[in-house]
Structure 1
Amino acid sequence: MDNQQALSTTATDMSTDPTLDSTTQRKLAAMIERLSSLHQSRVSTKTDLKDPSFESTKSFILLFTNSKQEIESSLTQIQQNSDTNPTLDLKPELEKISLSITELEKFVAESSYFLPPYEVRSSLKTISDLKQTLDSVTSKVKPRKKFSFKNKHAKKPETANVVTKEAIENEPEQQMSYKPKDSPGYRNKENEILIKEFKGSEIGEFVLSNLTNCEVRLKGCFRSLFIDRLQNCKIYVGPVLGSILIEQVEGCLFVVASHQIRIHHAKESDFYLRCRSRPIIEQSFGVRFAPYCLCYDGIESDLKESNLDDDTGSWANVDDFQWLRAVQSPNWSVLQERERIDTVKI
């Protein structure tokens, strides 16, 4: 797969791994267009598109490094311009760099499903360093204000990426970042118990969409699960071979197992998980996590077939992409044992 195909796959399709970010569609489109142009120019210099450097991880590193160098070069240029002309207004250039860093951060988030964990950590550390450099440059080149006796309102302290219920509810209605085409599933149901058993790998992707006050029981293995717009639902799912993407859920309970789980725009919901990689949340609050507790006839063999028979403890190591500080994110917590549900048999 060449770089252009890899980026297009990350941005739109990934038939067995739907992990697109659901926030800020306009910025995502702009970022994809810009990054596509960057590596398209690289592609034009390659004579062999089967070169191993076009593998997904290497494609990511190429694009990430290119963008990082571009940002660093812009910061250096701003410093030089400030030294040459101290009165020059560099605010527009600084805002442009800030947007580029944000876009790069989103790119890491959207590529995290195929990246090795150390690559994600390294990339996030690089982004953190870029932000610190931007702050340092901004403080140096920002023109001093003239002395004044006028009273100024005290600046309100920033909430530092703490996601609140009011903040999410005041956002414009989110569009689905991934729209499965003709995938089997349950859609537009209320007050129903929905049961399905999978045999072998007969199903690639399964969808749960626009459900209210429903209980869903899915037994057996399948490739991937996409969930969006659920309210007050209980979802019990056997092992998923690929990934699970959850968007726009409120007041729900999930008992699910998968290699990779991403959660966007979740409110006051509990997640009982077994997963190989660290769960990812974004624009969520009041979400709690606990270990997987599902039971049905044959689940042990299904877990083994899916390579999910061992509990790695990843369910308790959640990555909040709205919170890059070293301290614990306030948007999620581990569910206390006394509050957890018992093993669920379906």
Structure 2
Amino acid sequence: METEEEEALSLSTLSDPTLHQKHLSMLERLSNRHQTRVDNSLARRSDSDSNSPSSASAFLSRFSDSKRSIEAHIAQSRLTHPTDPSEVRSHLDSISASISDLEKLVAEGSFFLPSYEVRSSLKTVSDLRQSLDNLSSELIPKKKFAFKNKASKRDPTTEPKQTTAEEKSVSVSVSTSQEKLVFEVRDLPGFRGKKGEILVENFKGSEIGEFTVSDLDSCEVKLIGSVRALFVHRLRNCRVYVGPVIGSVLIDEAEGCVFVMASHQIRIHNAKGCDFYLRVRSRPIIEDSGGVRFAPYCLSYEGVEEDLRDASLDEETGNWANVDDFRWLRAVQSPNWSLLPENERVRMVKISDLGGGIEGD
């Protein structure tokens, strides 16, 4: 409805053909300008909806495409594969990296996906890992284990311990409320079978994709730099300080330990009386655990901010306080975990790659 001023202006222009024509031209320009703004706004909204990572339909499409691609590579590898062991290993590492990328996608999607979708997607990732492990066993048969007559005199804190046949194939399972997720820990670089030692590994400039820490008692572990995946098994009274893990961390059987780590996914099985200082993109998962407490990530070393940024872990999500207990299905808070009281938290842990280089603020 026109105002009195607009009505008077319209009447005056009717009496003057020149003014009337200018008035019509002005109205047309204003109408065209408004329509252009509306069209641009709709176009931007359409682009945002189709590309947004928080779109469930977009996630499912990307997830399905990646899954099919990985399955195709695994199937093709069984038919035609390189004969050179180094080429085979490179090919397997490439598939493993694709699975890690898919796992990272699930971690990012956990912000908006329903719980059942997250669990289903994690199960798919686990199945792909298992398929890759089976393929690796087919293409690269495990070497026979034999004890050496003499142990070489090397730095025990940096050289991985010779593993037994049992350790070379450690099967670790993490259950959801409906089904088991099985992870095959292959013959990986790592620290094993130590007691009362300081163990340091610096990943900066290295090509280590996965690392394992197992069978340690009263040890201090410092992992500096980024690694793709970390497997922790059978630790007692240990302190574990870890830089960013690009994929996932799996912890199985830990008692009386402190973990400071950043990762896209962290799954904890059979932990008792442990404290976890975490930065994690998805909700931490615990199962068959009790007396575990959680607090925010508090690790510092030279270059840690750059490492966190490169691993897309530079932002604090607050998920360290949003723990899923897969053994607790009731609506009330699980009694198996709690937040670490602020007056009991360590504010910052500073580490270096020198033995004993740890300082708490």
Query: Which range, TM-score by smaller chain?
Result: 0.5 to 0.7
Name the counterpart of 2:196. 191
In 2: Cα distance, 1:325 partner to 1:123 partner:
19
Q: Does residue 181 of structure 2 align to residue 176 of structure 1?
A: no
The aligned amino acid for 2:294 is F
The aligned amino acid for 1:121 is S
Check conservation: 1:16, 1:242, Cα contact below 8 A: no
Name the counterpart of 1:249. 254
Larger gyration radius, structure 1 or structure 2? 2
Name the counterpart of 1:220. 225
In 1: Cα distance, 2:283 partner to 2:317 partner:
10
Name the counterpart of 1:156. none
CA positional deviation for 1:122: 4.9
Aligned length: 206
In 2: Cα distance, 1:251 partner to 1:18 partner:
32
Name the counterpart of 2:115. 121
Percent identity of equivalent pairs = 56
CA positional deviation for 1:268: 0.5
CA positional deviation for 1:117: 4.7
The aligned amino acid for 1:259 is H
Name the counterpart of 2:207. 202
Q: Does residue 313 of structure 2 align to residue 317 of structure 1?
A: no
Distance 1:271 1:116, change over 3 A: closer
Q: Superposed, which structure 2 residues align to 1:256-275 within 5 Å?
A: 256-275=261-280
Q: Does residue 355 of structure 2 align to residue 342 of structure 1?
A: no
In 1: Cα distance, 2:108 partner to 2:281 partner:
12
In 1: Cα distance, 2:349 partner to 2:186 partner:
32
* 1:283-330 deviation line (CA, Å, top 9, x unaligned): 100000000000111101111111111111010000111112221111
* 1:50-108 deviation line (CA, Å, top 9, x unaligned): xxxxxx89xxxxxxxxxxxxxxxxxxxxxxxxxxxxxxxxxxxxxxxxxxxxxxxxxxx
Secondary structure of 1:338's aligned partner = helix
| Highest RCO, 1 vs 2 (Cα 8 Å, sep ≥ 6) | 1
CA positional deviation for 1:341: 1.7
Alignment equivalent of 2:295, drawn from 290, 299, 324: 290
In 2: Cα distance, 1:124 partner to 1:300 partner:
28
Name the counterpart of 2:359. none
Segment of structure 1 superposing worse, 175-184 or 200-209? 175-184
Distance 1:124 1:197, change over 3 A: closer
Check conservation: 1:17, 1:243, Cα contact below 8 A: no
CA positional deviation for 1:116: 4.0
* 1:160-213 deviation line (CA, Å, top 9, x unaligned): xxxxxxxxxxxxxx9633342221100111111001111246110000011111
The aligned amino acid for 2:215 is N
TM-score by length of 1: 0.53
The aligned amino acid for 1:325 is R
In 2: Cα distance, 1:315 partner to 1:267 partner:
18
The aligned amino acid for 1:341 is V
CA positional deviation for 1:222: 1.1
CA positional deviation for 1:124: 9.2
The aligned amino acid for 2:221 is V
Name the counterpart of 2:134. none
Name the counterpart of 1:232. 237
Q: Does residue 301 of structure 2 align to residue 302 of structure 1?
A: no
The aligned amino acid for 2:115 is R
In 2: Cα distance, 1:269 partner to 1:326 partner:
24
Secondary structure of 1:176's aligned partner = strand
Name the counterpart of 2:145. none
> 5+ unaligned residues in a row in structure 1: which ranges?
20-55, 58-110, 126-173
In 2: Cα distance, 1:222 partner to 1:275 partner:
15
Secondary structure of 2:329's aligned partner = coil
Computed over aligned residues only, the root mean square deviation of the Cα atoms, in angstroms, reads 3.3
> 5+ unaligned residues in a row in structure 2: which ranges?
1-66, 76-92, 120-169, 174-182, 352-361
CA positional deviation for 1:113: 5.9
TM-score by length of 2: 0.51
Alignment equivalent of 2:286, drawn from 281, 286, 289: 281
The aligned amino acid for 1:309 is D
